[in-house]
Structures are given as structure tokens and as C-alpha cells.
Amino acid sequence: MEAAQEHFMEQEESDGSDKPSSSPYNSPFRSTRLHIQRSNVCSRAYFVVVMVFFHVYILNVIALLLYVHYNNGPGDLVSSDGASSSALVSEGGSPLPHPAPASRELHVEDYSQSFSLPRIEGIRVGHVQQVSLVPERTHEMKTLSLKPLLFEIPGFLSEEECRVVVQLAQLKGLMESQAPAPSQGQEESNQPLLSLSTEEVFSLLDLNQDGLLQKQEIVSHSRSRDGTWLSPDNLRQILTGLEARPTEMLNLEDFRRVYDVSQRPGQQRSGKLWSQFRQRSKHTWLFQGLGSHHVLQTLRNRVISLTRLPSALVQLSEPLQVIRYEHGDFSNAHHDSSPSQSETICAHTRLAGNTSALTEVSCRYLTVSFYLSSAEEGGETTFPVADNRTYEEQALVQDGADLTDTQETCGRGNLRIKPTPGMALLWYNHLSDGRGWMGELDEYSLHGDCPVRRGVKWVANSWVNVDPDYQMQARYQRLVAQRHRAKSTMEEHYQPLSHSDLHQDL
């Protein structure tokens, strides 16, 4: 029996090798179809799992974007297309990198880029480092002081560049700078530098050129820093005459009567009070933006390269101030910038803040001063307390002598720098706040100009304005960007020849 079963099984195996079996379980077509069904079930389950993970990933990404969007602070600067840019500093407090300054005109996107305030390392007094400011040439920058952080750069300007800046200043016209009474024996000069007729003054005040002066047109000149042709006394006299008119407006004839009265010094101040003011120096301001002389634009770009600051900060700062010191002219020791206080606001960002109850002050992160000529004798720049171990206001008076009085104590200052044509000085007026922004006023930056004993000294000052409140600076940047975009859009659709197009500042 067993032998018969074995024989039958061997017969089936041999038959299976010769022809396919007729059994449905051994049918290759049926086996293949069952395999495909198992594969479909597996693929469907895999697809469901993948889709679940994919949707979870998408939801996580959306949640992360919403978190970042709603947690951006008001100080974040926005780019020109409205997207939020990087913050000023990272979470760890270290300053973020900023793009290198470009030597080109400022565009809309430059107004709103995120930036930090890098500082040049002084290393030690006397340290010399190489800086690249112009193609195919390097300049030497020497550390003169660590308190304040002060450098000198010989040959910053060429002889031709110095000459052009002086000529542009003379062409623009110089105005008097006046200060408290001079020492005995010094000659006073009260003659005006600019001779403007009454009609010219009226035209300058008449901003909309409608032939009538309104109060807001006159008040707009009261904040002018270089408007020495119209003193505060002149303004008060004119406003008094304006308020006496029923219409509170002045035509040319009315203005002529009011202005003539305001120009009579005997009715404004006594001779004693007038003698308390005298000429210290003469100065003017030169615009460095688009349309200015190429030398002025070159100097501004060179300042960007030297300071390593974002180009937007430098380009939105004050114009170049050019000063002429003649025989006996000087400036007492002072700070270029102001300490940050709750009741003050920076003059350059006042458009972005509430100016009704705040006092405007100068906020200047650093100063770059250029010597355009050298006086034959005197005229040094002095830093009375540079690198003192400590700073105390009481220490400014030594043996009864005030170190801020450069007329009397210029030789007693810790550091004096003789003017050399083409040389530049760079110093920081503020310390760092430790997070890449502007901190407290550096009191050691106190400086002044010694009296010129013989010859004439020409100096130019370039200041970089920064608000110690980063959020206020960011708001100001956004406001400038919005106005720039609005102006560009308007010019694209409407480009008439206006009165302003006929005048181009130097």
C-alpha cells in the first residue's frame, strides 16, 4: 500500500514537470492575481500613511510661519516689498552680519535694510592698521586714543579734493557762527555775511509762492540750523506783526514794514547784550546726494568704506559741514552728540515721533573730520580729557583754569592734533550698548579747536546720525522708504517742470 502511494506521488511529480497542472491552486494565473491583490492592499496602506505624515508636516510649517509672523517685534525693519527682514541682533545678543556698503546711489530697498553698528578695533594707542578706501591703494589708520576711540588717516583726501570742497563752500556762501562773549582785546565782528534784500527774504519764506506769508511758513524756518540770516529775534518781530493783521497773513508791503523794524538792533537788544555775541567761525552745509558734485559723493562713499556702516545710515545723515577758522577763531570743548534722555528726541528722527513735548537734540554716532588746509600757527584740535583714567566734570577745572576754554587752556589738553591737509580724524561719540547698537555718550569725546594764531584753517565734518532707540530709528527708516516710494510713483506718472527742478543744491 505504501509502495503504491509513493509510486502515485512520483508519477504526479513527473507529470508536473512535463505539463502544467490542471489544479486551480497550482495555476500560475491565479497565483499572480492573488499577488497583485496583496500588492494593492500594501500600496494603499502606504499611501495613507504617507499622506498623513505629509499633512502633519504642512500643518507644522504653517504653524511655525504664523508663530514667527506674530512674534516679530515692532523694531523689525521691513523690506521694500513689505516683507519682514532680519532683526538687528540674534537671540544670543551678537550682532548679525550686514551687507557691505555699496558705492552707489541710495535706492528704496537700501532705506529699510536691517543693520547693526560695527566698531573699528583700536587695539592700543599707536597701533597702525591698513584700510582699503580707494582702488589700488591702501591707507594707514593710526589709533590716537582709546577713550574716546579715535583714529587718524593721513591722505584721506587728495590736494585736488580739498581744493574742490573749499571752492564749493565758498560758492555756496558761508554764514557766521556766534558764541558767548570773547576775551578782552579780541576784535568783534557783527557784519552779516549774506546781504539779502527784503524781497529776497520774503520769497524765501513764501514756500508756496502765493504772494502771502502765513504763520506756518515763517515758523518752518525757526528750526533751521544754518538759517543765521533770520535770527530768533527776527522771527519774533515778524510773528508779532503777523498776529496783528486781521487775516494773519502778510503781503510784501506788510512784510517790508515788519521786517525793517526787526532789522534794527537798537530796538531788540541793548549794546551790552549785543556785545555778548561774536563771530567764532564761518560755516556752510554741502549736500552729498544725487545731483551733487562728484567729489562730494566720492567722499561720502569713502566714509561708508571707512566706517563699515550700512550705506543707508550714512546717506540719510546730515550734509557735509564745512568750517572756515580765521585769525582768532576757535571753538570751546564740546560733545558732538547728546546723552539719551526720556524728554529728548533725536532731531533726525523727529518725523517718526511726537515732537510736541520733546526737545530735539543731535544724535551722532560718530564724527569724521577732514582737514582741508592747515593754519600757519595754532588751530589744533584738542581732546582735553582723552585717555584719562576717570572722567569727572570737576576735573575739567584745574588750578582755576577751565579745560573747556580753548582760548586759555588749549595747551593743557591731553591730546592735540595739528591740522594737516588731506588728513581725516574718526572718533566715536557713543559707546556700544553691547548688543551691536549705540549706547551711552562717551564723555571722553569732549573736543574743541584751538585759536588760529596765523593763517586760515578749513575743516569739514561728516556725522552719522543714529537714534539710540532702535525702534525709533526703524520707524524713521520705514517712513523714509514709504515717502521715497510715493515720490517715485508720482514721478513716473507726472513729471512737470517745477520750480524745484530749476535749482540744484551744491
pLDDT tens digit sequence for 182-208: 343 333 333 334 456 788 778 877 778
Confidence of residue 504 (pLDDT cuts 50, 70, 90): very low
pLDDT tens digit sequence for 68-114: 555 443 333 333 333 333 333 333 333 333 334 444 444 444 444 56
Confidence of residue 261 (pLDDT cuts 50, 70, 90): low
Between 45-49, 115-119, 354-358, 403-407, the lowest mean confidence (pLDDT) is in 354-358
Distance CA 168, CA 176 (A): 17
* Consecutive H or E run containing 401: strand 401-402
Closest C-alpha among 451, 505, 418, 365 to residue 186: 451
- Asked if residue 231 lies in contact with residue 264, where contact means CB atoms within 8 angstroms, the answer is no
pLDDT tens digit sequence for 204-257: 777 788 888 887 777 665 444 444 455 555 666 777 778 788 888 888 888 888
Closest C-alpha among 484, 470, 482 to residue 363: 470
- Asked if residue 319 lies in contact with residue 285, where contact means CB atoms within 8 angstroms, the answer is yes
Count CB atoms within 10 A of the CB of residue 205.
19
Between 86-90, 356-360, 487-491, the lowest mean confidence (pLDDT) is in 86-90
Q: In the prediction, which pLDDT does 51 show?
A: 85
pLDDT tens digit sequence for 15-50: 544 444 444 444 444 444 545 455 555 577 778 888
Look up the CATH architecture of domain 127-177+279-490. Answer: Sandwich (2.60)
Phi, psi at 73, each rounded to 5°: -75, 165
Indicate if the alpha-carbon torsion angle 471, 476, 477, 479 is positive or negative.
positive
**Mean model confidence pLDDT for the chain:** 75
Confidence of residue 323 (pLDDT cuts 50, 70, 90): very high
Q: Which of 152-161, 260-269, 326-335 has the highest mean pLDDT?
A: 152-161
Cα 276 vs. chain centroid, distance in angstroms?
36
Q: Which of 176-190, 191-205, 402-416, 444-458 has the highest mean pLDDT?
A: 444-458
The yes-or-no verdict on residue 162 having pLDDT over 50 is yes
Q: Which three cell numbers stand for residue 366?
A: 560718530
CATH of 198-259, one of 3.40.1440, 3.30.70, 1.10.238, 1.10.10: 1.10.238
CATH 2.60.120.620 boundaries in the chain: 127-177+279-490
Between 121-130, 212-221, 358-367, 448-457, the lowest mean confidence (pLDDT) is in 212-221
CATH 1.10.238 boundaries in the chain: 198-259
The yes-or-no verdict on residue 140 having pLDDT over 80 is yes
Confidence of residue 358 (pLDDT cuts 50, 70, 90): low
Q: Which three cell numbers stand for residue 303?
A: 566714509
Confidence of residue 500 (pLDDT cuts 50, 70, 90): very low
Distance CA 469, CA 90 (A): 17
Give the residues across from 141 on adjacent strands: 129
The better pLDDT of the pair 32, 322 is held by 322
Residues 6+ apart with CB under 8 A from 120: 141, 149, 151, 307, 308, 426
Indicate if the alpha-carbon torsion angle 381, 382, 386, 392 is positive or negative.
negative
Distance CA 437, CA 17 (A): 89
DSSP H helical segments within 173-231, as ranges?
A: 198-205, 215-219
The better pLDDT of the pair 178, 63 is held by 63
Distance CA 382, CA 448 (A): 5
Q: In the prediction, which pLDDT does 180 show?
A: 44
3-state secondary structure of 439: strand
